[in-house]
Amino acid sequence: MSQVGRPDIAYWTGPGGNHWARHHDVTERMFAPVAAALLAATNVRTGEHVLDAGS
């Protein structure tokens, strides 16, 4: 896929990506309880895969 006309590329390689990287640890801690509850509800087992589709 061509990167021309892809504003998400500019966002993630610029200020948006820098902001996310600076706050990654806080974000991970904030969402850890939610992620744990979702994974527990799915009954994922060793060797299985989970796809995080994002938004």
Q: Tell me, what's the pLDDT at 41?
A: 92
End-to-end CA distance of the chain: 20
Please state, in angstroms and as integers, the Cα–Cα distance from residue 16 to each residue in 19, 20, 45, following that order: 5, 6, 34
Q: Tell me, what's the pLDDT at 8?
A: 87
Q: Tell me, what's the pLDDT at 4?
A: 64
Q: Tell me, what's the pLDDT at 44?
A: 86
Whether 1 has a pLDDT exceeding 60, the answer reads no
Q: What is the pLDDT of residues 2-48, one digit of tens each?
A: 556 678 888 999 999 999 999 999 999 999 999 899 888 988 889 99
Number of neighbours of residue 23 by Cβ within 10 angstroms? 11
Q: Which comes out higher in pLDDT, residue 3 or 53?
A: 53
